[in-house]
Amino acid sequence: MIYMNTKAVIFDMDGVLIDSEPSWGQAMLEVMREVGIPYTVDDVARYQGVRVGDIVSAVWDANPVPESKEGIEKMICRRVSELVLDHGRIMDGISGVLDFVRREKLPLGLATSTPRQVAVNFIKRIGIGGLIDVMCTGDEVTYGKPHPEIYLLCASRLGVLPWECLVFEDSVNGVLAAKAARCRCIAVPGEGLFDDRRYGIADVKIRSLLEFSPDMA
């Protein structure tokens, strides 16, 4: 069973805990258009799970504009915060997973590419801040997903070994990061991505958290 020998659970945030991926995509498209950097829906999909600063750096280097990288990142974070606070909702099925975590008395970590202040606002929005024991954010690590650093950091702060962690991820970059850290990983691909072969590295793949069961192989 996937949860055997599990000593901690780690969630990604966007697209796992909160339905915020559409808001990130909209914010990226709006701000990039405003500053004059070409950015498409294909770019939104390709960069899913990547730190906003890393995305901005990559596209700015390819298409330099007068607005600074730091300024663009702040614009995106401000816009996505507005969108999530207005429209963000907790993902279907998360209550069942949280019930499992509480029942098994497992410490709970959060490993998100989102900057800390934005992540704190998102968690407040869905009202589960009191359940999270450790929060690791994209601005605390040198390398973002798909590098494993954030999962190694989160496991360390939780006081467990990486392979004792069960990770829930929705993006390919996130799954790659979790598996590179040697965590066990349940992938919950976003809409239209379930058949993407890149998710094959995950230990288990489900269409929704509603499908989660501790008995799954």
Instruction: Return the higher-pLDDT residue of 87 and 159.
Output: 159
CATH of the domain at 107: 3.40.50.1000
Contacts of 136 (CB under 8 A, 6+ apart): 109, 110, 111, 112, 150, 153, 154, 157
Active-site option among 14, 19, 43, 170 = 14
Contacts of 156 (CB under 8 A, 6+ apart): none
Look at residue 4 and tell me whether its pLDDT is greater than 80.
no
Contacts of 138 (CB under 8 A, 6+ apart): 51, 52, 53, 112, 113, 114, 115, 144, 150
Band the pLDDT of 161: cuts 50, 70, 90: very high
Is-catalytic flag, 99? no
Is-catalytic flag, 196? no
User: Per the domain annotation, does 78 fall within a domain?
Assistant: yes
Q: Write down the pLDDT at residue 127.
A: 85
Q: Write down the pLDDT at residue 114.
A: 94
Band the pLDDT of 1: cuts 50, 70, 90: low
**Structure token pair of residue 14:** 């966007």
Q: How many domains are contained in the chain?
A: 2
- The domain of 109 spans 8-19+89-211
- Domain check: are 78 and 113 in the same one? no
pTM: 0.88
Identify the CA nearest to 197 among candidates 212, 184, 187, 183: 187
Active-site option among 12, 19, 43, 170 = 12
Over residues 44-54, the mean pLDDT reads 93
3 state DSSP class of 159:
coil
Band the pLDDT of 217: cuts 50, 70, 90: very low
- Domain check: are 115 and 82 in the same one? no
